[in-house]
Amino acid sequence: MLPIAGYADRLSVRPGETIAFKVSSQLATDYNARLVRVISGDANPVGPGIKEDKVAAPFAGRHASRNQPIHQGSYARIDSGVDFTGAPGLTFMATIWPTTPDLKRRQGIVSAYEPNVRLGFALAIGEDGSAEALLGATRVKTRVPMESRHWYRVWARWDEASRTLSVGQTALAHGVPVGPLAEASMTVDPTSSQMPPPSMPWIIGALGGEPVRGHFNGKIEAPAIYTKALDKAGLITAGEGRNVDGLVARWDFARAIPTTRIVDAGPARHHGHLVNLPARAMTGANWTGREMCFRHTPQEYGAIHFHDDDLYDCGWSTDFTWTVPDDLRSGVYAVRLEGKDAEGRTAEDNIPFFVLPPKNLRTADVCVLMSTYTYTVYHNHARPEAKTEKWRKEWTSQAKAWGAYPANAYDHPEYGFSTYNFHSDGSGICHASWLRPMLTMRSGYITYPDASIRGSGLRHFPADTHLIAWLEARGTAYDVITDEELDREGLDLLKPYRVVMTGAHPEYHTGAMLDALQAYRDDGGRLIYLGGNGFYWKVARHKELPGAIEIRRGEGGIRAWAAEAGEYYNAFDGEYGGLWRRNGRPPQHLAGVGFTAQGNFVGSNYRMKPEARKSRASWILAGLEGDTFGAHGLSGHGAAGFELDRADHRLGTPSHALVLASSEGHKPDAPWVLVPEEYLTHLTTWPGLKPEALIRADMTFFEAANNGAVFATGSITFCGSLPSNNFKNDCSTLIGNVLDKFLDPNAEFPMPPTAKGAV
């Protein structure tokens, strides 16, 4: 763990509301905490540098250091209260799809067991990858290793009369045993039997203990407990889901999928709850493929995928809280933590968060929508290039030279990785949460080290402070809002503002968020989209757990991983996941442009269209000299780069939209690739054009209903060009033209005669 790290219980807060900060410090002395207002989170000395204003806060000062542990791994817990004393036997059974049977450590499947004192009964996968039964200190296993990602029925039995402990496993095909059957048994000495006491909880997906350990990797379906040693006929009947004498509990994971509850379909209703958010709505052993949605055939989605590195909430205790003063200005804030380790070296962390204006009250005509869902989905992204010594040396050297954030997410799996990474079992991470230290969401965090020391290599939160710094430099008043409030409050949040601005990469959205933005636009709002690859992926929020976000990387899209067949629907809301384009809402519908191509973190310039200066939007280009602009910047050294959006009428770009400029110079050695959904074959594309013609950013403007308007840059790196030459540059001039016009209460944006119906 880092010497000091922390997180807040929320990412956004309003005046009068309270935010809680949780800190784990392994420092030799107390640590110091202070509050700052963030102006710039870019440590690059060629740019604005880290700029922060001090803010008085009651919590400022010294706090006692304490180490707060992290317990990764998901499981289900049932506080049973059942006394097995006097029972003729005991059987634990389940259907499983193990993903790391070769892990060479014990993985609990169904257990009432305390491994520290070797007390209780458990069904597990042993160190050799075979099914294992444990009774107190005694264990027996089949010694037939299971294969990864294959279905098995497994069981552990205790027969009190014969004092026999046995274990078995059999392979399944479409939920039916296909053998061969592997079993093993042994007679247990009467003095060594240690049945679980009534106070011991039942654990599914781990072995037990405090803290729980022995986590299982893979899917578990239909776990059950019987107070008898089932014979072969009983095992078959129980495995088919039919009632068998002695049933204590049989959990149906197809029920209550959007919740953290697990439902016992047995007579005593021993319901339980899930810890650390394993993946639900997973295909079971009997999945036929005839239906792709768990709501249609719930009986085929009775599995939960557990992982030994799942982490929803670190669960740390609160170190201090802060209630936002009524008169505090809306903006970006952070708590700075600092202290000394045992060798006297300084260790620090910063915890950014966002202060909104009071509810139903705007304090400026402009609001900046901070993409907190995107920050959360990406947070703690362990980049694959970080495996190489050359890249790590360059990253560390640059961070040290700049005084940038010193920790790389790749080195700290203990805080949980992002949904752009894989679990330890090779499955894609589909859940994100902000209730843990978010290393990549830190002022000064470098994503891409730049050997030329000109570009800053920032993404997401620190990159979006380029826009904040630009607004501050030009003296434009603004409020800050976040995705959380947009999802919850909808149009009411946006309606008071004359202009809504996005940052560089507003990629992840719920349906409620898109509804609100579209309603705002069509109600006369003015939207400035300053990014690329925006409004791309569909996400869902958990109805019970704050901060939990789900992404299913289904068919299409540039994906870090691909969801398993049949697992494209979100468990959190039951809706089809994946791309918004696959859900009938391409980004062009809202902003006029949508994701088309990606390259390395390299930028280029825009070239104006010949007709742009004579168009009805020529005012946007006022003050620009020549036909090209944007060949500079702190993000990839160019305003148009990395991820690009283009206009396309078939995908929703309004017929009257103007493409004022398009990027150029995207060299093939970047390399540049089209997003997969643009390809039909290796020779043909969806629009029918050559691939190179689709690798471009289209700077677009169009009028919307009720005097609304939309301007889009179509590039992730654009905001990084705003600070060039102390904010005096062509990109700054251009965005200043747009913002000033959009803010003008007398400005009119009539739909032109060429418009074909409403946007």
Which pLDDT tens digit goes with each residue over 89-121? 999 999 999 999 999 999 999 999 999 999 999
Cα(520)–Cα(514) distance, rounded to whole angstroms? 10
Does 421 reside within a domain? no
Spatial separation of the C-alpha atoms in residues 188 and 163, rounded to whole Å:
6
Portion of the chain with pLDDT greater than 70, in percent: 99
Give per-residue pLDDT as tens, 424-445: 999 999 999 999 999 999 999 9
Together in a domain, 178 and 35:
no
Contact (Cβ atoms closer than 8 angstroms) between residue 492 and residue 515? no
Same domain, 729 and 615: yes
The model's pTM: 0.97
41-45, 215-219, 552-556, 569-573, range with the lowest pLDDT = 552-556
Per-residue model confidence (pLDDT) at position 458: 97
Q: Evaluate whether residue 284 is within a structural domain.
A: yes
Contact (CB, 8 A) for 334 and 301: no
- The chain-wide mean pLDDT, for the chain, equals 96
Q: Which residue has the higher pLDDT, 574 or 195?
A: 574
- Domain identity same for 676 and 737: yes
Distance in angstroms (rounded) separating the CA atoms of residues 510 and 539 = 5
What confidence category does residue 555 fall into, taking pLDDT thresholds of 50, 70 and 90?
confident
CA 686-690-693 angle, 5° bins: 105
Question: Per DSSP, which regions of 307-417 are E strands?
Answer: 320-323, 331-340, 346-355, 366-370
Same-domain pairing of 132 and 46: no
Same domain, 266 and 121: yes
| 124 in a structural domain | yes
- Do 156 and 240 sit in the same domain of this protein? yes
User: What's the CATH code of the domain at 337?
Assistant: 2.60.40
Q: pLDDT per residue over 705-721, tens digit each? A: 999 999 999 999 999 99
Of 494-508, 581-595, 616-630, 664-678, least confident by mean pLDDT is 664-678
The answer on 80 and 61 residing in a single domain is no
On whether residue 362 sits in a domain, the answer given is no
Please say if the pLDDT value at position 453 is more than 70.
no
Cβ of 165: how many Cβ atoms within 10 Å?
A: 26
Residue 128 shares a structural domain with residue 97: yes
**Is there a single domain that holds both residue 90 and residue 161?**
yes
Determine the average pLDDT of the residues in 595-604. Answer: 95
Q: Does the pLDDT value for residue 756 go beyond 80?
A: no
Query: Are 20 and 152 contained in the same domain?
Result: no
Give the confidence band of 81 by pLDDT, cuts at 50, 70, 90.
confident
Closest CA relative to residue 596, chosen from 529, 663, 527, 525: 663
Q: For residue 414, what are the contacts with CB-CB under 8 A and spacing of at least 6? A: 1, 70, 72
Instruction: Residue 565: count other Cβ atoms within 10 Å of its Cβ.
Output: 12
What's the pLDDT tens digit per position in 266-324?
999 999 999 999 999 999 999 999 999 999 999 999 999 999 999 999 999 999 999 99
> How many structural domains are present in the chain?
3
Domain that residue 682 falls in: 498-536+580-743
Q: How far does the chain reach from its first CA to its final CA, in angstroms?
A: 51
**Predicted local distance difference test score (pLDDT) of residue 190:** 77
Residue 688: inside a domain: yes
